[in-house]
Amino acid sequence: MLACASARSSSRCCQGTAADGGTPSASLLTKLSGSLNLSKADAERTFDTITNTILDCLKGDDSVKIAGFGTYKVAKRKARVGRNPRTGEQIQIGASQKVKFLPAKALKEVFNK
């Protein structure tokens, strides 16, 4: 189950994206189309719909919880002062955001038997 929640209130052959960074790999689409009994084109549209839904939730500052898998959420980092390791000069590091993934207990147990 995929749930978008407001933040305010296994093998190598199945990598999620191809080298171009835009489309799911052929083997992932083959497995998805086989398990859902869909054509590869329909499987790709399904995959795109799911990933776009997750991205829309994250862009809206929501967390995304997938039961038994984990939670995606946006972490915000404040602007801060850092140091250039070569010169020791102080530099200003701007505020940024990144996506964090917190695996569910069930997912952790799969890999830590």
Domain ranges of the chain: 2-111
Cβ–Cβ < 8 Å for 73, 66:
no
Can you give the pLDDT at residue 110? Answer: 92
Q: How far apart are the C-alpha atoms of 70 and 93, rounded to whole Å?
A: 30
Sign of CA dihedral 30, 111, 48, 13: negative
Q: Quick check: 32 pLDDT over 60?
A: yes
pLDDT digits (tens, 9 = 90+) for 13-31: 444 444 445 667 888 888 9
Instruction: Tell me if the pTM is above 0.75.
Output: no
Can you give the pLDDT at residue 9? Answer: 40
Q: For the beta carbon of residue 64, count every other beta carbon within 10 angstroms.
A: 23
pLDDT digits (tens, 9 = 90+) for 49-99: 999 999 999 999 899 999 999 999 999 999 999 999 999 999 999 999 999
CATH class of the domain at 2-111: few secondary structures
Q: Quick check: 7 pLDDT over 90?
A: no
Q: How far apart are the C-alpha atoms of 70 and 61, rounded to whole Å?
A: 17
